[in-house]
Structure 1
Amino acid sequence: MNSIEINAIKLLDEAQAKTNLLGMTPTQLADYFKSIGEKPFRATQVIKWIYQQGVTDFEKMTNLSKSLRDKLSIHACVTPPKVIHRQYSDDGTRKWVFEVTGGSLVETVLIPAEDGKVNGRKTLCISSQVGCALDCSFCSTGKQGFERDLTAAEILGQLWVANASYMTDAQDSLEYVDHSLWENNVTNVVMMGMGEPLLNYRPVVSSMELMLSDHAYGLSKRRVTLSTSGVVPKMYELAQELDVALAISLHAPNDELRNELVPINKKYPLEQLMAAARNYVFEVNPRHKKHVTIEYVMLDGVNDSDVHAEQLVALLGDLPSKINLIPFNPFPHANYDKSSNNRIHAFSNILSQAGFVCTIRQTRGDDIDAACGQLVGQVADRTRRSAAWQQSIKDRENT
């Protein structure tokens, strides 16, 4: 091993030994500063630098003393996950593939409002796990299996990168973020990417606390949404701890069909799921106009009949609901097809006539495979092919 390789390993070990401050809640960061002999109020200063200014270099945090900046440079870091692939759609949609610790891949997609306004709504769909253990039959992510939970730094880092992407050079390099132009462009966050957020409860809640904090991103609680497939006990726990918007990945109006599409329903059937949703809306911190968003992917000939729509009306009953109908976005080897536009509109009309607010999600980012899990699968496949090709070259050289 030569000296260059030794130095590279030394630098890597030093980086891994540092404490990543990204994703720490105000309380956690205050405790960290106390642990290194500093005043707890430093936490607020650093949080503002990271999230309101986009600064990750301690030397640029000018209201910290020189001695503290030096100490942090030695012992801490602010490191988002590594971007290994990005795609920007013609319609303004942006998508990233991140490599997290251990070499696993996750993805994030940013979807702007259809009006295309520079300062319009920009919704970021964030992943909470590498893969997913729930194995919903129509989901690309579920077919990749489950590897591990993401840390709070890896979750919040997705939001940090999305904001930074509007302040970088043409190559989207995070090494060249123009902090003078930093602005939190992301207006809405949905925990609706890869994974089931409530199965990675504590890092997800910690991340959302920072999204809501006035010292960090300062997002409205109605602009931060957690989407769950129905982890009922954690829904009750979330209701007691944090007031954010709730979405339920429902996709079927009866237990028999939902057992097939969303297997967690076998453990927490619809009666329990609807009771937890009503608890979230009515019984804990009730708020005027508070509602649950019902996510319902439209699968041709599977869950899209008039009868299914009528069953959905009966199931939701008096639960304040906004129903989001999602045209299925096919992925390789999927066993389903997208419902026709006529069928989706007929389904929507039944729900609207019953008094529900019903929207049909417009497909965005088709040119960059914006359905969750698709791009990771492609990048991983290309990575495997590349590794195989490199190995074949080595094998030929050794023969």
Structure 2
Amino acid sequence: MDDTSKRSLDLHEQLHGKIEVVSRKHVETRDDLSLMYTPGVAEPCRQIQADYQKSWELTRRGNMVAVITDGTAILGLGDIGPAAGMPVMEGKCALFKEFGDVDAFPLCVDTHDVDEFVRCVQLISKSFGGINLEDIAAPRCFEIEEKLKRTCDIPVFHDDQHGTAIVVAAALINALKVTGKTMGEVRIVINGAGAAGCAIGTLLSHMGFGNVIMCDINGIICEGDEGLNPGQEAISHITNADHEHGTLADALRGADAFVGVSRPNLVSTQMVSTMNDGIVFAMANPTPEIMPDEALRGGAAVVGTGRSDFPNQINNVLVFPGIFKGALAARAREITEEMEVAAAYAIASVIPDDELSPTNIIASALDKTVADVVAKAVADHASA
């Protein structure tokens, strides 16, 4: 057990949980009791019964997100079950509050059955203003999100997919400026065709960055390949414009950018040296696909990771508090791709052009001003 793990365990033992419910008004008198609870509370109930939309005004629902997992893809630990995933869900809820002043509640659902999970979320959805799906394994996560989007009247957002895609897009926008590369003309290699990788490929393609090449453990993914899961099948139709085949090393030759959401130590210094003044986002945690010093030695122009101990930390905390804050403010029924694009450009804009550098392409994960910038951009698009 390393020092960080030991101190984190000590903290969790001390706190007995990282979040708590706090009353927004103290109950100190009989009058307080009659207004907060019986008999006075009956009137807000009647108002909501008569007009469903008043549930947003008369309850905390309008600022409440459910953070929900089935425990099948917790961090890098895999399928460790819903109870073991609770510390992560609590942590996510704490970040929602700390960075976006959005209330969030952790829910760990004990089932691997897609329809049972979906039904559970549907049945509780009237208590919340948004659903943040978290740490659900692919390909099940694609089906769960799609079914919930069709049946819920509130935003459903799988952060491992779309939050990751948004922050990568934001970092790439600024990395292109630093390197002088042109949007629409770059070759981007994504390694890891799971939930995050497929979402990144979809968003970067939609935004028009250039030719996206998806790779998995078997190498380059091409339209028509056998054995693709639904997410990979969908992404195969909008990526790999030249229908290439080969290994990750083949894909990286002449590439302008690499995005890794896969496994440690898959990329070598020699592979980076074949890139075109490469932008390297090696985001596997805790050990990236290539360490920053090795990538720089191979000629990388800009390097980012998911870690806080290197420059250019590419972290979802820059996304989810603000995107939900904006969606809740606008009472959006969904988070659209256009709202995701707006969020990416908003995050990128936090670093002024004259302050951009190879080691400063993305705001600090601890910058609490980012959420409001993102929220405004998202709310403006939701209201447009």
Shorter-chain TM range is under 0.3
* Structure with the higher strand share, 1 or 2: 1
TM-score (norm 2): 0.28
TM-score (norm 1): 0.27
